[in-house]
Chain A
Amino acid sequence: MDSVAPVKMLTVLGAICLVAIAAVIGWAREPRQYRADPPVSAALDQLRLMPDGIGGTSPEVYFAMGKPYESTGFDLSQGKRLYSWFGCSQCHGDGRGGKGPSFIDGWWLYGPSMVSIVASIRNGRPHGMPAFKDKMTSDQIWQLAGYVRSMGAYSASVVAPSRNDDKTSRPAENRAPAAILFDEGPIPVHPKQGPSP
């Protein structure tokens, strides 16, 4: 057998396979940040909310970081832990609400953007939502907000956490429960309060 040409071609083919698989994994790659840099945390506190408290813009540093809190599995799963550690379920139940509003009916009283969810957790909201800024660090608040947002997402993202190792009472986050459990919501609503895309 002519041994040189096949070897060269096999190398080329191998390289193509490498690149293809690397692209897939690279796309799914999720860098983990264990230690929040204090200056970054401070910058994450600089929320720019609209005067009505609904919607706004996340701080620039958040975009510079690559929006980790809504797009990496690690941060979302940390958020899920925080959800139970900080007793969110006392008012919001498994996400379907209780004393507090539901996260998975597709409606967001203050809009579905990260910044307004962070603002709700950080500063509290009228009618009972307490402020957590003295109880959680800012990166924890962002992690929790990312998780809350993933609960109510309409189309499941690949990174959304799956079920927990306990009793499940609703579809897991990666099944896009908001799409399954959609509820018409109060009418009329503020134009910004619509379902998350």
Chain B
Amino acid sequence: MKAAVVIIIAALLAGCGGNQSALDPHGASSVALKDLIVLFALICSVIWLLVTGFLLWAVMRRRAEARRDPAAERRMTVAVRASMTATVVIVAGLTVASFHTTQSLHSGADAPVFVSVKGQQWWWQFTYRDGNQAPLFQTANEIHIPVGKDVRLELESIDVIHSLWIPSLAGKLDLIPGRKNVLTLRADRPGTYRGQCAEFCGLQHGHMALLVIAQDDSSYRQWVAAQAAPAAEPSDAEAAAGKAVFMSKPCAACHTVRGTPATGSSGPDLTHVGGRQTIGAGLLETTRGSLAAWIADPQTLKPGNNMPLVPLTGEELRQLSAYMEGLR
């Protein structure tokens, strides 16, 4: 118990917990939320200490005969009433603090960056849109945002309920089929922030992560320009052979690689897959080896996901992963 209290106090002070932590805020809303969490936690700790302290005193205190004198009963009544009043006051105060934080959270109605998010089992589809809502490009499981600017995320689900949660930047919001929710993000510092689906969504709920990469304005613009461009042509013979494998095997039926005949839409857009930090919705770091492992046997790495095991020869697998890695 005591050890645990020490741990949480240390954690609160240090604000540690990696790049997916409500205690390590780097965004406008998450900073306000952390302040609220600290406020609530402090008040609650004090109340708990008072109650436990009184409990210990009550059971340990030396006492004379068990007595039922009316004066003592009256004093107790007064004490209980006073504690009741104190409870009402504290609870009312916390409610006001909570409302205050809600008010101060950013609404971001005129955000300059606009992204549609479609949650699906078990990955995230992002469509960047321009000022007129026209789609610019599509990507998956990784978004880049400019530091210090509001980003408006329109959340929709195409299958079951998911919940988008990037604790270091903002609180979570659900993606519900048949509804549209809006979440505003703003990162105050450049960095890579991890997020994860927070509403149980089936088999691979545990492997449905995303990365938000906040960067300065110019690198963000570069990234947008690169993403909007069609896929890079294979740079060597191996990758070129891999492209042929991709187009002749079932891959192309589910995935899009812009600038090629592959236009499937039930899997993630792979136009710039080699440039993303992870594959499989945060499952593995993107390397040629992990791409090959994933393509060779997706059902062992992420059982139940919707990518089938496509039988390939070793040669084909090598070529295909070279092609994928080159799609930067």
Contact = CB atoms under 8 A, between A and B. Distances in A.
A and B touch in the complex (CB under 8 A): yes
Nearest to A140: B308
A165 B176 CA distance: 13
B266 interface: yes
Interface residues of A, number: 16
Interface stretch (A23-31, A55-63, A129-137): A129-137
A20 B304 CA distance: 32
A165 B249 CA distance: 31
Given A35-B297, A35-B299, A134 B309 contact: no
B252 to A, nearest CB: 8
Contacts of A34: 299, 303-304
Interface in B241-288: 248-250, 252-254, 266
A41 B253 contact: no
Nearest to A86: B253
A77 to B, nearest CB: 12
Nearest to B300: A35
Contacts of B300: 35
B308 A38 contact: no
A165 B178 CA distance: 10
A137 B252 CA distance: 12
Nearest to B253: A135
Nearest to B266: A85
Contacts of B79: none
A137 B266 contact: no
A139 B310 CA distance: 10
Contact of B309 (A38, A81, A136): A38
Contacts of B308: 36, 136-137, 139-140
A35 B203 CA distance: 14
A42 B309 CA distance: 12
Interface in B301-328: 303-304, 306, 308-311
B177 interface: yes
Given A34-B299, A35-B303, A85 B250 contact: no
B250 A36 contact: no
Contacts of A35: 297, 299-300, 303, 309
B253 A136 contact: yes
Given A35-B297, A35-B303, A137 B309 contact: yes
Contacts of B303: 34-35
The SS class assigned to the A binding surface is loop
A137 B250 contact: yes
Nearest to A138: B311
Most B CB contacts (10 A, CB to CB) among A42, A136, A137, A165 go to: A137
Contact of B177 (A41, A134, A136, A165): A165
B311 A41 contact: yes
A137 B248 contact: no
Nearest to A37: B309
Contacts of A165: 177
Contacts of B309: 35-36, 38, 41, 137
A36 B297 CA distance: 10
Given A85-B266, A134-B250, A136-B253, A42 B304 contact: no
A38 B296 CA distance: 11
Most A CB contacts (10 A, CB to CB) among B177, B254, B306, B311 go to: B311
B254 A137 contact: no
Interface in A8-64: 34-36, 38, 41-42
B311 A38 contact: yes
B202 to A, nearest CB: 12
Nearest to B247: A134
B239 to A, nearest CB: 21
A35 to B, nearest CB: 4
A58 B203 CA distance: 31
Nearest to A85: B266
Nearest to A135: B253
A134 B266 contact: no
Contacts of A137: 250, 308-311
Given A85-B254, A86-B253, A140-B308, 13 more contacts: A34-B303, A34-B304, A35-B303, A38-B311, A42-B311, A134-B249, A134-B250, A135-B250, A135-B253, A136-B253, A136-B308, A137-B308, A139-B308
Interface pairs A-B: 9 shortest CB-CB = A35-B299, A135-B253, A85-B266, A137-B308, A34-B304, A38-B311, A34-B303, A34-B299, A135-B250
Interface of A: 34-36, 38, 41-42, 81, 85-86, 134-137, 139-140, 165
Interface of B: 177, 248-250, 252-254, 266, 297, 299-300, 303-304, 306, 308-311
19 contacts: A34-B303, A35-B297, A35-B299, A35-B303, A35-B309, A36-B299, A38-B309, A42-B311, A85-B254, A85-B266, A135-B253, A136-B250, A136-B253, A136-B308, A137-B250, A137-B309, A139-B308, A140-B250, A165-B177
